[in-house]
Amino acid sequence: MSGAGAVLSRQLAGRVAIVTGGASGIGKGICRVLAARGAMVAVVDLDGEAAGATAEEISAGEARAAHFQADVTDRASLDDVVGQVVDLYGHIDICVANAGVIAGPGFTERRDYTDDDWDATQSINLRGVVSTNDAVKAHMIERGAGRIINIASHSGRTPRGAPGSLGDIQIPYSVSKAGVIQWTMHLALQLGQHGITANAVCPGTLWTPMWERIANMRKRFDESVRDLSPREIFDRHIGLNVPLGRPQTPEDIGNAVAFLASDDARVITGQALNVNGGAMMN
């Protein structure tokens, strides 16, 4: 490897990253990119077995990764993992709060949101991010450095869907992601004096198990797509809504996270970066 590729491969050398929800989907893509850039990655997930498989896959090459089981709704669980990571690697440089859900259990069976959807999205998507950040703050303040990157969504920036549409089920999700963006801005104000940056990344549309479940829900309630496969529904959505005409990948989100975690972004804080192919421009 030579030139820019060689520089990127060592961009995060010697740094330690902790990624929640790191076992699959966007989180797995983030872990892979950070490891490829030289970071030692702590793959954290509620599913400890899946986290182990991801860490093993990453460690099959020259990269280094370890796995940990934690529940982001349980602050004590997060504090324990942070302590284990510090014991293992000596420090934490990068915190990526990625764990999230689209709605409560059984959301594909209904058109409208329920209290379960509000409870799940607020406790995992928002409070889980806050707790993850809070679990590493004291350590980063003591070191006088750190990068915090929270995974929000472009749906947290503006309402989507007409009243009564299938978008109603996603309202709690969008509100929780708007909260993540607002929280990140407050965090940037709070931690800037300690040399710590805090930014959000707002993914657009990715083909993940979560989106496949959304597509199946649309098949159930929307006659216009009933004869399409979940992937065909997804591809049609991309064609209609994304100016670049292609979906994003978990690695695309990982590349944005890696940039914000690098020295190239040392004066960037309190920002929410869309990575969505132009589907939303703000």
Q: What is the pLDDT of residues 78-99, one digit of tens each?
A: 999 999 999 999 999 999 999 9
Same structural domain for residues 136 and 218?
A: no
**Is residue 282 one of the residues assigned to a domain?**
no
- Are residues 226 and 173 both part of a single domain? no
- Report yes or no on 279 lying in a domain: no
Q: Residues 223-264: pLDDT tens digits?
A: 889 999 999 999 999 999 999 999 999 999 999 999 999 999
Q: Using one digit for the tens of pLDDT, what is the confidence trace for 200-217?
A: 999 999 998 888 988 888
| pLDDT computed for residue 107 by the predictor | 86
pLDDT at 168: 80
Same domain, 133 and 267: yes
Instruction: Render pLDDT for 97-109 as a digit per residue (tens, 0 to 9).
Output: 999 999 999 888 8
pLDDT value for 163: 52
Determine the angle formed by the axes of helices 250-261 and 25-36, rounding to 10 degrees.
Answer: 50
Three-state SS annotation for the chain: CCHHHHHHHCCCCCCEEEEECCCCHHHHHHHHHHHHCCCEEEEEECCHHHHHHHHHHHCCCCCEEEEEECCCCCHHHHHHHHHHHHHHHCCCCEEEECCCCCCCCCHHHCCCCCHHHHHHHHHHHHHHHHHHHHHHHHHHHHHCCEEEEEECCHHHCCCCCCCCCHHHHHHHHHHHHHHHHHHHHHHHHHHHHHCEEEEEEEECCECCHHHHHHHHHHHHHCHHHCCCCHHHHHHHHHHHHCCCCCCECHHHHHHHHHHHHCHHHCCCCCCEEEECCCCCCC
Residues 63 and 190 in one domain: yes
Find the domain containing 238 and state its range: 207-247
The answer to whether position 96 is within a domain reads yes
Output the pTM of the full model. 0.93
Catalytic residue numbers read 173
Assess if residue 53 is contained within a domain: yes
Domain for residue 237, yes or no? yes
Same domain, 130 and 242: no
- 120 occurs within a structural domain: yes
CB under 8 Å to 65, separation ≥6 — which residues? 31, 35, 40, 41, 42, 43, 54, 55, 56, 58, 59
What are 185-195's pLDDT values in tens digits? 999 999 999 99
158 with 242, same domain: the answer is no
Residue 60 in this model has a pLDDT that exceeds 70: yes
Task: Find where tokens 């940037």 sit.
Answer: 188
Q: Are residues 50 and 104 in the same domain?
A: yes
Q: Are residues 116 and 178 in the same domain?
A: yes
Residue 23 domain-assigned (yes or no): yes
Token pair recorded at residue 137: 């703050």
pLDDT tops 80 at residue 147:
yes
Residue 169: predicted pLDDT: 81
Pairing status of strand 94-97 against strand 272-275 = unpaired
Shared domain for 95 and 137, answered yes or no, is: yes
Instruction: Read off the tokens for 29.
Output: 């893509």
CA angle 58, 60, 64 (to 5 degrees): 55
256 and 226, same structural domain?
no
CA–CA dist 49, 62 (Å, integer): 22
Q: What is the DSSP letter of 39?
A: -
Predicted confidence at residue 166, as pLDDT, reads 58
Query: What percent of the chain clears pLDDT 90, i.e. is strictly above it?
Result: 80
Which of helix, strand or coil describes residue 171?
A: helix
Average pLDDT rounded to a whole number, residues 110-120 = 92
Say if residues 80 and 70 touch (Cβ distance below 8 Å): yes
Q: How many distinct structural domains can be found in the chain?
A: 2
Clarify whether residues 88 and 190 are in a common domain.
yes
Residues 41 and 134 in one domain: yes
The verdict on residue 280 lying in a domain is no
The enclosing domain of 269 has a CATH number of 3.40.50.720
User: 5 pLDDT exceeds 80?
Assistant: no
Flag the least confident range among 50-59, 135-144, 207-216: 207-216
Identify the residue with better confidence: 151 or 159: 151
At a CB cut-off of 8 Å and minimum separation 6, what does 41 contact?
Answer: 16, 17, 18, 19, 22, 31, 34, 35, 55, 58, 63, 64, 65, 66
pLDDT at 282 over 90: no
pLDDT at 1: 47
Residue position matching structure tokens 């509620």: 46
